[in-house]
C-alpha cells in the first residue's frame, strides 16, 4: 500500500471541518512553523524536501520561494493558483472539496515563510461550491486563532481571502492570474520582470498551485529530509493524479513518485485496467497540454526501460518519444478511440481559450482547429497533415505565455505517433463522415485555404 501524505484521512467523515481535521493532526505544521521555526528555516525545509511544483512546470518550490525579493517597507504576497482548468485535471478541486483545511494550513505555512501578511486563493469562477467550502474553512481557522492578528502569540499576522476567477483557462498562467486578481483582463504579462520581483500590485509575489502549497504541510510534519526519501531521484514525495478515460476506476489517486506507469494503469489499487478488457492504445499523461504517447512508449522508454511516474522518466527521450508529468491529468485511451477526434477536441479548447494577445496563438490555434475539423469529418487532404505540423512549429516558442506551446504539442505528437490514423481520415473520408454523423454527405461549415 502506497504511503499517503495528503489523502490519508480523506474518507473520514467530517474531515472537511476544522474540528475533525484538527483531531487528525491538522495544523501541527502551522504550529511548528510559527512557534519553533524562523521563515528562513521553513524555506530551508522545503528546499531539503525536493518538493517540485505540482501544477505542471515542476519547478523546485523552495528555490522559487528563495527568489522572492524582500525590499524594505514593501508588502509581499502569496497567491494560490486554484484556477484548475486543464482538460483531464481535477485533483485540486478534489482536495479543496474534501480537505480544505490542508490548503488553508499550507497557506499559513507558506505565507509565514515568505513574510506575506495578505494572501489570496484564486479559484476558478465555475467552482462556486469549492469557493464556499474554502470561505467556511477560513472562518473556522480564524475562529480557532490560526488566522488574523498575532497568530498563536507569535506576532505574525495573516489575512487570507478567496477570490473567484474570471472563468478563463488563460488565468491559470500566473501573470494572467495576477492581472485578473487586480481586476484587469486576464492577459499574460511579458517577463521579466517576474512575479518574484514585481507581481501583485507590482510587489514581490509567489504564485503556487493548490497541491504544491498543501504539500508543505507533510514536509514540515515529517521534515524535509524524510520527505525527500519518498519517491525517486529528483522526483520526491507523493503526487496526486487525476485518472480518467477508458479505465475501470477513474478518480484521484495519491501515488509515490517512481511508481511504474504499467502498475498505475493495471493495478487494482489504482486504475484497475482498461474497460471491457480492451487493449491500451495511448495515454495523455499530464493533462491535455502534454504530448500524447502510444502504448509501447508510455509503458517503455525509447531505451526499453520501464516508464515510471516521475518527471524524469516520462520526459525521457524528449518530445520525440517522451512526454511530461505536467498537472497529473492522466487520460487513457483504449484501442477503439480515435486520435484525430481527440486531437481536434483539444484544439477546439485551446482555440476557444486563447486570449488573443499573440498572433501566432490567436491565428494558429484557429487554423489547427479548422484543419483538424476538416480531417475528422472526411474532407481533408494529405497536405493538411503537414500543414498542421508546420502551423504547430510556428506557434511553439513564439508566444508570451505557454498556452501556445500547450496547443501545439498535442497536435505535433499525435501526428508524430499516429500519422497513419490521420492518413486514414483522408483516404476514407466518406467512412469518417458516416462514423461521426451517420451521414454519407456532410457540408463542412469550417474551411481554411491551404
Average pLDDT by stretches of 10, the chain with 450 residues: 90 97 98 97 97 90 96 96 94 98 98 98 95 98 97 97 93 96 95 96 97 98 97 96 97 97 97 97 95 96 90 92 94 96 96 95 96 94 97 96 95 97 89 55 38
Query: Taking phi first (over 0 means left), then psi (-120 to 50 degrees means alpha), and beta for anything else, what does residue 50 get?
Result: left
75: closest CA among 158, 174, 180?
158
Give the cell for residue 32.
511548528
pLDDT score of 373: 95
pLDDT score of 302: 80
CATH number of 18-229: 3.40.50.11540
Sequence-distant contacts of 404-408: CB under 8 A, at least 24 apart: 404/354, 404/358, 404/360, 404/361, 404/364, 404/365, 405/289, 406/288, 406/289, 406/350, 407/289, 407/346, 407/347, 407/350, 407/351, 407/354, 407/361, 407/364, 407/365, 407/368, 408/364, 408/368
Segments making up each domain of the chain, as ranges: 18-229, 236-334, 339-437
Give the cell for residue 14.
467530517
Q: Domain 339-437, what architecture?
A: Up-down Bundle (1.20)
**Grid cell 493558483 — which residue?**
81
Q: What is the pTM of this model?
A: 0.93
pLDDT score of 106: 98
Q: Where are the beta strands (DSSP E) in 5-92?
A: 77-82
**Strand order through the sheet with 251-256:** 251-256, 238-245, 329-334, 280-284, 293-294
What's the angle, vertex CA 367, arms to CA 365 and CA 368, rounded to 5? 65
pLDDT score of 55: 86
Cβ neighbour number for residue 108 with a 10 Å cutoff: 29
Three-state DSSP class for residue 348: helix
Q: Which residues pair with 334 in a beta bridge?
A: 280
**Grid cell 480492451 — which residue?**
278
pLDDT score of 445: 37
pLDDT score of 56: 80
Three-state DSSP class for residue 276: helix
Q: Domain 236-334, what architecture?
A: Roll (3.10)
Amino acid at each position: 500500500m502506497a504511503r499517503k501524505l495528503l489523502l490519508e484521512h480523506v474518507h473520514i467523515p467530517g474531515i472537511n471541518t476544522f474540528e475533525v481535521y484538527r483531531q487528525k493532526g491538522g495544523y501541527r505544521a502551522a504550529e511548528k512553523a510559527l512557534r519553533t521555526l524562523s521563515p528562513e528555516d521553513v524555506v530551508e525545509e522545503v528546499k531539503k524536501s525536493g518538493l517540485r511544483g505540482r501544477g505542471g512546470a515542476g519547478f523546485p518550490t523552495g528555490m522559487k520561494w528563495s527568489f522572492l525579493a524582500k525590499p524594505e517597507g514593501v508588502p509581499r504576497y502569496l497567491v494560490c493558483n486554484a484556477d484548475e482548468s486543464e482538460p483531464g485535471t481535477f485533483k485540486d478541486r478534489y482536495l479543496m472539496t474534501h480537505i480544505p483545511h490542508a490548503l488553508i494550513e499550507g497557506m499559513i505555512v507558506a505565507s509565514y515563510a515568505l513574510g506575506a501578511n495578505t494572501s489570496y486563493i484564486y479559484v476558478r469562477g465555475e467552482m462556486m461550491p469549492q469557493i464556499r467550502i474554502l470561505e467556511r474553512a477560513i472562518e473556522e481557522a480564524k475562529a480557532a486563532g490560526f488566522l488574523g492578528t498575532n497568530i498563536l502569540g507569535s506576532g505574525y499576522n495573516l489575512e487570507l481571502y478567496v477570490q473567484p476567477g474570471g472563468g478563463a483557462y488563460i488565468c491559470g498562467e500566473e501573470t494572467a492570474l495576477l492581472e485578473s486578481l487586480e481586476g484587469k483582463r486576464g492577459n499574460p504579462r511579458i517577463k521579466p520582470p517576474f512575479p518574484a520581483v514585481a507581481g501583485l500590485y507590482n510587489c514581490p509575489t509567489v504564485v503556487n498551485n493548490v497541491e504544491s502549497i498543501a504539500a508543505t504541510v507533510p514536509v514540515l510534519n515529517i521534515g524535509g529530509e524524510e520527505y525527500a526519501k519518498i519517491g525517486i531521484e529528483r522526483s520526491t514525495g507523493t503526487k496526486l493524479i487525476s485518472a480518467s478515460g477508458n479505465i475501470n476506476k477513474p478518480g484521484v489517486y495519491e501515488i509515490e513518485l517512481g511508481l511504474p506507469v504499467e502498475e498505475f494503469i493495471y493495478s487494482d489499487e489504482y486504475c484497475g485496467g482498461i474497460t471491457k478488457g480492451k487493449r491500451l492504445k495511448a495515454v495523455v499523461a499530464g493533462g491535455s497540454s502534454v504530448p500524447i504517447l502510444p502504448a509501447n512508449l508510455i509503458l517503455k522508454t525509447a531505451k526499453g526501460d520501464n516508464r515510471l511516474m516521475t518527471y524524469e522518466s516520462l520526459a525521457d527521450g524528449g518530445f520525440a518519444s517522451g512526454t511530461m508529468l505536467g498537472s497529473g491529468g492522466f487520460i487513457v485511451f483504449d484501442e477503439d478511440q480515435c486520435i484525430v477526434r481527440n486531437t481536434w477536441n483539444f484544439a477546439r479548447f485551446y482555440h476557444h481559450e486563447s486570449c488573443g494577445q499573440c498572433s501566432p496563438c490567436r491565428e494558429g490555434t484557429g487554423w489547427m482547429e479548422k484543419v483538424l475539423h476538416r480531417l475528422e469529418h472526411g474532407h481533408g487532404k494529405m497536405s493538411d497533415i503537414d500543414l498542421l505540423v508546420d502551423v504547430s512549429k510556428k506557434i511553439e516558442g513564439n508566444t508570451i505565455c505557454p498556452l501556445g506551446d500547450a496547443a501545439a504539442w498535442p497536435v505535433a505528437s499525435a501526428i508524430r505517433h499516429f500519422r497513419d490514423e490521420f492518413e486514414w481520415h483522408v483516404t476514407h473520408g466518406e467512412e469518417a463522415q458516416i462514423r461521426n454523423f451517420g451521414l454519407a454527405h456532410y457540408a463542412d461549415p469550417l474551411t481554411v485555404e491551404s
